[in-house]
Amino acid sequence: MLWSERGKEIIEGMGNICGSKEPELDLRGNLMRKRSTGADIDDVYDFHERLGQGSMGSVAAIRKKDTNAVYALKTIQLVRISKEMIQELRNEIDILMRLDHPNIIRPLELFERKRQMYFVMEMCSGGDLFERIPYTEKNAAIIINQLLSAIRYLHARDICHRDLKFENVLFETVSPDSMVKLIDFGLSKRYRPGHRMNEAVGTLYSMAPEVLNGNYTQACDMWSIGVISFMLLSGEMPFSGKNEEQVIRKLTSGSYTMKESLWHNVSSEAKDFVSKLIVVKPAGRLTAEQALGHAWVKQEWDKYQRLQSQSSDRKLGESIVSSLQQYGRYGKLRKAALMVIAHRAKPEQISQLRQAFHEFDSGHEGVITLEEMKIALGKYAISEAEVQEIFEGLDVDRTNQISYTEFLAATVEAMGLSREEQLAEAFDRLDSDDSGFISRENLKEILGSAYDANEVERMIAEGDFKQNGQVDYDEFLLLMSQQHEREVDEMAALPPPVGSGKVAPAAEEPLRG
């Protein structure tokens, strides 16, 4: 199952996101495609399998007609919810569009009709945390490390999830070694540092006591991580009772017991970790950053990383490095296309690339800094000057750090993920009005806040071998070919259509954002 039917309904009350109007999205935030009103989802996807049903809609697996790729579809029946909830749904989607972390679910497309909204997301086929009980202590620590990395990433961006629980953590695949993804940001909220939240939202068994009192901060997420850790290690909830009143009384007092029959084989480090998160006073809890540094989590994750590194192919590592070096020399349009391919890549296609990302991201922040890149590339005898050049070539949105998708975009070719199936999806996203070619207006739309008229002209020129002011599919495939340089002169020699404006090719430059 993709979404568990335990606890609350699959489709819950949508988020209550507050604050001022969000800034316009840039390329990375615009990778999700918003189909124009009236676009028919049935023209693009086939229904595959129903996965769950709620009071406001359903969740299903769907298959893209032109590529056969399988995704998850969340359908919302707009006639069943208020205008306020519709706006909250839009806010939830907006939050997801701005997130970019290996352990957070990715939004892919949005269709709107008069009575329905269709939200396409990546498919996680391994079920939720309930599906694989019981867990070894080692597996529990690896899962918690991933969740903490995601939470640290959220909190660094002033976002509180507010509904961390077993049902909202999914395994990407059915593989025993599958990584996990955090889902359902319907109750998430942006907060201003120093200000407190007051809505009593979430799910009781993992809800922090201060949330019940309506006066809390992002520390509520850390209590929930403690509850999840307790359940992974013991197989039972820390706070239970015959009725809701009993549960509330226990959790507000922080009264739980580690039964000897369930905890006798659990290490003292794991018990200490739990005890430092399930703390009634929020100020006494570990932060996400502190929890990532706790001996129990760090030791198990370091062991896991060493094993993964030992089993990785040295040649693959060299191929990834070669891709990083080559990517910086690509033009803006090609980089944008690779960003789309990376955004839509399946977990099994990029598992080795994600492992490489984790090796670079030694601070577990969900991004790669220049210093981290210097350390990671040091074993390949690459000079600091070249590392600097590689870093600047990868930093598409000019944030002085490398995001997960930026890293994937620079390395997907090492995994052979620029085949025509993936290229077709990339072209489809860039050709956002389905005209059959990439136009200036298409690029203006996807660049968003990074739009610059001169830059768009250079992007068009990069693939406009026929010199007719647009890039058709054949030109796009030629651009994306590793050997396209050999064929450019031949295609450029074709006479342009009468009345077309010739655009001189421009030097390739890093994409600003």
Could you read off the pLDDT of 150-179 as tens digits, one per residue? 999 999 999 999 999 999 999 999 999 999
Shared-domain flag, residues 222 and 350: no
Instruction: Give CA–CA dist 443/333, Å, rounded.
Output: 9
Structure tokens at 450: 């990074």
Shared-domain flag, residues 186 and 206: yes
Give me the sheet containing 116-121, strands edge to edge: 33-34, 107-112, 116-121, 70-77, 57-64, 45-53
Handedness of CA 259, 270, 351, 182 (dihedral sign): positive
Instruction: Give CA–CA dist 31/27, Å, rounded.
Output: 6
- Asked, for residue 28, whether it belongs to a domain, the answer is no
Instruction: Give CA–CA dist 373/388, Å, rounded.
Output: 9
Structure tokens at 301: 């994750």
Give 62's strand partners.
47, 71
> Which parts of 235-266 fold into alpha helices (H)?
244-253, 260-263
Task: Give the per-residue pLDDT at 483.
Answer: 52
- Asked, for residue 460, whether it belongs to a domain, the answer is yes
- Asked, for residue 11, whether it belongs to a domain, the answer is no
- pLDDT tens, per residue, the chain with 513 residues: 333 333 333 333 333 333 335 667 889 899 999 887 667 899 999 998 888 776 567 889 999 988 888 999 999 888 888 877 777 777 788 899 999 999 999 999 999 888 888 999 999 999 999 999 999 999 999 999 999 999 999 999 999 999 999 999 999 999 999 999 999 888 899 999 889 999 999 999 999 999 999 999 999 999 999 999 999 999 999 999 899 999 999 999 999 999 999 999 999 999 999 999 999 999 999 999 999 999 999 999 988 888 877 766 667 788 889 999 999 889 999 999 999 999 999 888 898 899 999 999 988 899 999 999 999 998 888 999 999 999 999 988 788 999 999 999 999 988 877 688 889 999 999 999 999 999 999 999 999 988 899 999 999 999 999 999 999 999 999 999 855 454 444 445 555 544 444 344 444 444 433
The domain of 160 spans: 129-305
Task: Give the per-residue pLDDT at 499.
Answer: 43
Shared-domain flag, residues 98 and 174: no
Task: Give the per-residue pLDDT at 513.
Answer: 35
Please check whether residue 144 is in contact with residue 221, taking contact to mean a CB–CB distance below 8 angstroms.
no
Shared-domain flag, residues 440 and 502: yes
Pairing of strands 70-77, 33-34: unpaired
In total, how many domains does the chain have?
Answer: 3
Among 271, 305, 339, the domain boundary falls at: 305
Shared-domain flag, residues 213 and 150: yes
Please check whether residue 180 is in contact with residue 171, taking contact to mean a CB–CB distance below 8 angstroms.
yes
Task: Give the per-residue pLDDT at 81.
Answer: 82
Among 305, 330, 358, the domain boundary falls at: 305
- Asked, for residue 378, whether it belongs to a domain, the answer is yes
Among 121, 145, 172, the domain boundary falls at: 121
* CB burial string 107-119: b at 16+ within 10 A, e below: bbbbbbeeeebbb
- Asked, for residue 299, whether it belongs to a domain, the answer is yes
Residue 257's CATH number: 1.10.510.10
Shared-domain flag, residues 441 and 492: yes
Task: Give the per-residue pLDDT at 15.
Answer: 35
Shared-domain flag, residues 380 and 265: no
Structure tokens at 249: 């009384």
pTM of the model as a whole: 0.87
Residue 424's CATH number: 1.10.238.10
Residue 117's CATH number: 3.30.200.20
Contacts of 231 (CB under 8 A, 6+ apart): 129, 166, 237, 238
Shared-domain flag, residues 106 and 198: no
Please check whether residue 92 is in contact with residue 188, taking contact to mean a CB–CB distance below 8 angstroms.
yes
Handedness of CA 205, 210, 216, 217 (dihedral sign): negative
DSSP code at position 27 = T
Residue 242's Cβ-count burial label (10 Å; 0-12, 13-18, 19+) is exposed
Shared-domain flag, residues 88 and 144: no
Active site residues: 163
Shared-domain flag, residues 72 and 186: no
Task: Give the per-residue pLDDT at 35.
Answer: 85
Shared-domain flag, residues 297 and 327: no
Shared-domain flag, residues 373 and 442: yes
Task: Give the per-residue pLDDT at 2.
Answer: 37
